[in-house]
Structure 1
Amino acid sequence: MRKLSIFLLIMVVLGSCARQDRFIIEGSVTEGAGETLYLYRMDLGGDVLIDSTVIGRNDQFTFRQNALFEPTFFKLSLTPSRFITLLGDSAEHINITASLSRFSRDYTVENSPGSEKVQILKRRITALRSEVDAIIDNFNDLPESQQAEELEAVSTRLTEEIDEYKKFIEAFVLENPRSFASYYALFLTFSDETLVMNILDRDDQRLFATIATSLNLIYPDSERVRHLYNMVLSVKAEERMARMIQELANEGRSYPELVLPDLDGNDVALSSLEGNVILVSFWGSWDETSVRENRNLKRLYSQYHHRGFEIYQVGLERSRVLWESAVVRDELPWISVSDLQFTNSYAAQVFNVQRVPANYLISREGELVGKDLFGTRLEERLREEL
C-alpha cells in the first residue's frame, strides 16, 4: 500500500510538471457561444492556422499548445478582419475576456506582459489611423479650388500627428528594448498598409538598430530577429555604398583610393597601379575558401601579369605574424597589404565587403567592371579587358 501511495504521488507531480510546460490561451467571449475561434501563429512568411475551437455554451474557450521556445505572435480570430493579436512566451497561461460585438476593439488580456504591450500599441496605432484618415477625408471633401489653399496646412497637421506618434514609439522602444513588442511596434502601418516607421529615416533607423542589436543578444537563433538584424545591416551597407559613390564622384574616380602597408611596412596606393587591369582582392589567411581561391589567382597572375594584370590583395587579418607567414608559405607573388583591423578594416568598409573571398575588377581606364568574379567568369572578363 505504501508503494502504491508513492507511485500515485510521483504521477501527480509528473502531471503537475506536464501542465506547467503547456502554453495556454483561454477566456470568454460574451454572446459568442457556438462561434468558431481560430488560432494562427504569425510567421514571417504569413499566418499559419494551428488550431480552432467552438466557443462553448458558457461562452468559454481554451487552446493548449506546447511551451514556446521564444516569444511568438498569435492571432485569435473570429474572421479575417476581427482578431486579437497576442504575444505569447514560454508556458504562459493567457486569459482573454471579450465580447462578440466588440471582439477585437475592446478586450482585456491578463497573465501575458507581451500581449498587454501589444494591446497598448494597437490602441495607439488605431488612434493615429483615425486621425490621419479623418484629415485626408476632410481634405478630399473640399472643392478643388480650396484644396490648393489648404494643402500646406493639411501637410502640417499630418506631420504633427505622425511626429507625435513616433515620439510615443521611441519612448516605448527605449523602455522595452528586450521585448518582441518593440519589434511589433516597428512594423505597424497606416490604414493603407504603409509602414509608419521608415528604416531609411535616420531617426527611425536608430530604433530599428536598437531593437535588432538587443534582441539578437538574447535570441540569436530567432528567424524574426535575424530578419530584422539583416535588414538593418543591409540598409547600413547600402548607405555606405551610396557614400562611397558620392565620394568617388567628388574625386573623379569610379573606385575608392586605398593606401595600406605591405609586408615591409611600406604604404602602397591602389592608384599607383593605374593603367593596368587591377583585381582588388579581399581574403583572410584564416579562411579556407580564400586560400583555395588564391591558388586559382596564382595561375591567372602567372598567365596574364605580363599583359598588364595586377592584383592588390587586402588581408583581413588580426595578426601580422600569421598573415606574413601565410603570404610567404603560399608564395603569393602580387601586392599584399593589410591594416590588421580584421573585418573592421577601412578597405573592407569602403568596398562594402560582406564576406571573403571578395573582389573588384578595375579596367585600364579606372572603371569598376566586375565584382566577385571567380573561376572561369574572372578569366573570361580578364581576356576581355586585356
Structure 2
Amino acid sequence: MKKIYLVLTFTFFNLLLTNAQVVGTDIGDIAPEIDLPDTKGENQVLSSLRGSLVLVDFWASWCGPCIKEQPLLLKLHNAYPDKLSIYSVSMDTKKALWTAAIAKGKLPWINVSDLKYWQSPVVGAYLLQSVPLNFLVDKNGIIVAKNIHGKALEDKIKSLLESK
C-alpha cells in the first residue's frame, strides 16, 4: 500500500512540474523580463505592458532587414494603438546611431538598449544569435509566436486582435 501511495504521489508531483509554465523563449513559455533604459535613460520594464499584446523586437541601426521591417511595425502600431504595444530592444553600441535610427524611422514605441551589444543580459535570456528577432507576447506575458516577419507577422497580429 505504501508503494502505491509513493507511486501516486510521485506521479502527481511529476505532472504538476511538467505542466508548470516556465520562463523561456519557446512558444507557451513566459517571456523573460527585460528592464533596460530608453533613450532618456529611464528604465522601461517589459512586464509593465501586460494586459496588451506585445511585440518584443530585437534590432539594430546597422541591420538592413530590421530597418526594412520598421514601416510594417509602424503600420501595425497605428492600426492597433490601444491593443498592441511594441517593445524594441536595440543591439547598438553607439547611442548616437541608435537614436538617429529611431528619429529617422519615426518610431514612437518603447525603444530600449543598454548599449552592450552581445554582453547584454537579454542576449542570454532570449538566446539571441542574430537580428532581427522578435517574440509576440500575449496579455499574460506568454510567448504566442516568435521570429515571424512581414505578412506572417501582420496576419498573426490581426488574427489575435480581431478574434476578440
Instruction: Quickly name the TM-score band, shorter chain normalised.
Output: 0.7 to 0.9
2:34 maps to 258
Q: 1:364 aligns with which of 108, 126, 139?
A: 139
Q: Name the Cα RMSD after superposition.
A: 1.6
DSSP 3-state at the match of 2:48: helix
How much does 1:346 deviate? Answer: 1.4
Can you give the 5+ residue segments of structure 2 that lack an aligned partner in the other structure? Answer: 1-20
Query: What is the percent sequence identity of the aligned residues?
Result: 35
Q: 2:47 aligns with which of 241, 249, 271?
A: 271
Aligned equivalents of 1:339 and 1:329: distance in 2? 20
1:285 and 2:51 are equivalent in the alignment: no
How much does 1:318 deviate? Answer: 0.7
Q: 1:300 aligns with which of 51, 73, 76?
A: 76
1:293/1:357 contact within 8 Å kept: no
1:109 maps to none
2:85 maps to 310
Give the TM-score of the pair, scaled to structure 1. 0.34
DSSP 3-state at the match of 1:359: strand
Give the TM-score of the pair, scaled to structure 2. 0.78
Q: One-letter code of the match for 1:286?
A: W
How much does 1:293 deviate? Answer: 1.0
Paired residues in the alignment total: 137
Can you give the 5+ residue segments of structure 1 that lack an aligned partner in the other structure? Answer: 1-244
4+ long deviations beyond 3 Å:
none
Aligned equivalents of 2:156 and 2:123: distance in 1? 23
Aligned equivalents of 1:343 and 1:330: distance in 2? 24
DSSP 3-state at the match of 1:328: helix
DSSP 3-state at the match of 2:80: helix
How much does 1:279 deviate? Answer: 0.4
2:95 maps to 320
How much does 1:288 deviate? Answer: 1.0
How much does 1:365 deviate? Answer: 2.5
Larger RCO (CA under 8 A, 6+ residues apart): 2
2:129 maps to 354
2:158 maps to 383
How much does 1:371 deviate? Answer: 0.4
